[in-house]
Amino acid sequence: MRGCLSQPLKFSMDMKSNYSDFIIIGGVAAGPKTAATLARRMPNVKITLFEKGEHISYGACGLPYFASGDINNFAELTQTSYGLPRSPEFFKKSKGFEVITGTEVIAINRATKTVIARNVKTGESFEHTYGKLIFATGALPNTPLFPIPSSDRVRSFTRPDDAIHFRTLAERGQIGTVLIIGGGFIGCELAETCGGMWGIETTLMEKENQLLPYVLDSEMSAIIERELERKKIGVLTNTCIKEIKLNNDGDLLGILSNGKSIAADYVFLCLGVHPNASLARETGLKIGETGGIVVNGKMQTSDTDIYAGGDCVELYHQTTKQKIYMPMGSLANRHGWIIAENLSGHEIEFPGVLGAFLVKIFDLNIGAVGLSQLAAQRAGFKTRAIWGSFADKPDYYPESNSMTLKMIYSPDDNKLLGLQAIGNGDIFRRIDVFSSFLQNHGLINDLLSLEHGYAPPYAEALDPLHHLASMALAQERGMVIHSPDYKPNNETIILDVREKAESEAEPYPVGANNHIINIPLNELTEHLNKLDYSKKTLVICKRGPRAYQAALILKNAGFENLSILGGGMQALI
- Of 79 and 302, nearer to a second copy (C-beta) is 79
305 binds a second copy (CB under 8 A): no
Cα gap 458→362, rounded to integer Å: 22
Q: Are 127 and 115 in contact (CB under 8 A)?
A: yes
Distance CA 395, CA 401 (A): 8
Distances (CA, A) of 8 to 4, 17, 257, 498: 11, 20, 48, 79
Verify binding: residue 164, a second copy, rule CB under 8 A.
Answer: no
CB of 93 to a second copy, least distance (A): 5
Q: Where does this chain touch a second copy (CB under 8 A) — which range of 260-268, 372-380, 441-449, 558-566? A: 441-449
Contact between 436 and a second copy per CB under 8 A: yes
Q: How far apart are CB 253 and a second copy at their closest, in Å?
A: 33
**Which range touches a second copy (CB under 8 A), out of 165-173, 263-271, 276-284, 361-369?**
361-369
Q: Which of 7, 8, 13, 83 binds a second copy (CB under 8 A)?
A: 83
Q: Which of 242, 502, 528, 536 binds a second copy (CB under 8 A)?
A: 502
Beta carbon nearer to a second copy, 285 or 540: 540
Site for a second copy in 28-67 (CB under 8 A): 29, 40, 43-44, 59, 61-62, 65
Does the protein bind a second copy through residue 560 (CB under 8 A)?
Answer: no
**Residue 461 found at the interface with a second copy (CB under 8 A):** yes
* CA 14 – CA 409 distance, rounded (Å): 61
146 in contact with a second copy (CB under 8 A): no
How open is the CA angle 457-461-466, to the nearest 5 degrees? Answer: 125
**Which residue of 52, 55, 128, 542 would you call a contact of a second copy, by CB under 8 A?**
542
Q: How far is the CB of 84 from a second copy (least distance, A)?
A: 6
Shortest distance, position 130 Cβ to a second copy, whole Å: 22
Q: Check binding of 81 to a second copy (CB under 8 A).
A: yes
475 counts as binding a second copy under rule CB under 8 A = no
* CA 164, chain centre distance (Å): 23
Report the distance separating Cα 262 and Cα 88, nearest Å.
Answer: 45
Q: Which of 48, 221, 239, 333 binds a second copy (CB under 8 A)?
A: 333
Smaller CB distance to a second copy: residue 165 or 466?
Answer: 466
Q: Is 12 in the site for a second copy (CB under 8 A)?
A: no
Residue of the chain from 455, 487, 505, 535 that contacts a second copy (CB under 8 A)? 455
Q: How far is CA 257 from CA 193, 264, 378, in A?
A: 26, 17, 28
Of 154 and 295, the one with the shorter C-beta distance to a second copy is 295
The yes or no reply on residue 485 touching a second copy (CB under 8 A) is: no
DSSP class of 144:
P
Please state the closest distance from residue 192 (CB atom) to a second copy, in A: 10
What angle, 0 to 180 degrees and rounded to 10, lies between the N-to-C axes of helices 30-41 and 329-343? 30
CB atoms near residue 12 (< 10 Å): 12
Q: Which of 112, 143, 238, 440 binds a second copy (CB under 8 A)?
A: 440
**Smallest distance from a second copy to CB 314, Å:** 17
Stretch that binds a second copy, among 215-223, 271-279, 331-339, 378-386 (CB under 8 A): 331-339
SS3 call for 76 = helix
454 scored as a contact of a second copy (CB under 8 A): yes
Q: Which of 21, 243, 432, 485 binds a second copy (CB under 8 A)?
A: 432
Q: Which residues contact 204 (CB under 8 A, 6 or more apart)?
A: 180, 183, 187, 188, 191, 211, 228, 233, 234, 235, 236
Supply φ then ψ for residue 314, to 5 degrees: -90, 135
* DSSP code string of 326-343: ---HHHHHHHHHHHHHHH
Q: Which of 337, 21, 33, 281 lies closest to 140 in space, CA to CA?
A: 281
533 binds a second copy (CB under 8 A): no
Q: Which long-range contacts (CB under 8 A, 24 or more apart) does 4-8 make?
A: 4/107, 5/106, 5/107, 5/116, 5/125, 7/123, 7/125
* Closest of 237, 396, 416 to residue 318, by C-alpha: 416
Site residues for a second copy, window 391-420 (CB under 8 A)?
A: 391, 394-398
- Per CB under 8 A, which of residues 86..105 are in contact with a second copy? 89-90, 93-96
CA distance 57 to 26: 10
Contact with a second copy (CB under 8 A): which of 429, 488, 518, 567?
A: 429
Rounded to an integer, what is the distance from CA 78 to the centroid of its chain?
23
Torsion of CA 451, 456, 460, 462, to 10 degrees: 40
Q: Determine, following the binding rule CB under 8 A, whether residue 312 of this chain makes contact with a second copy.
A: no
Residues touching a second copy: how many (CB under 8 A)?
101
Q: What angle do CA 241, 247, 251 make, to 5 degrees?
A: 85
Tell me if 553 contacts a second copy by CB under 8 A. Answer: yes
Which amino acid makes up residue 263? Answer: A
Residue type, 548: Y
Rounded to whole angstroms, the Cα distance separating 570 from 573 reads: 5
Shortest Å distance, C-beta 218 to a second copy: 21
383: left (phi over 0), alpha (psi -120 to 50) or beta: beta
Question: Which range in 271-279, 286-294, 430-438, 485-493 contacts a second copy by CB under 8 A?
Answer: 430-438
Which residue of 6, 12, 109, 330 would you call a contact of a second copy, by CB under 8 A?
A: 330
Q: What binding mask, one character per residue, do residues 366-385 give for a second copy by CB under 8 A, x or -?
A: -x-x----------------
Asked if residue 431 binds a second copy (CB under 8 A), the reply is: yes
Beta-carbon contacts of 554 under 8 Å, excluding residues fewer than 6 positions away, are 495, 524, 528, 531, 537, 539, 562
Interface residue with a second copy among 222, 279, 328, 403 (CB under 8 A) is 328
Please report how close the Cβ of residue 371 comes to a second copy at its closest, in angstroms.
Answer: 13
For residues 327-353, one letter each, b for 16 or more C-beta atoms within 10 angstroms of the residue's C-beta and e for the rest, the string is bbbebbbbbbbbbbbbbeeeeeebebb
Q: Which is nearer to a second copy, 176 or 457 (CB)?
A: 457
Cβ closest to a second copy, residue 262 vs residue 331? 331
223 versus 285: smaller Cβ distance to a second copy: 223
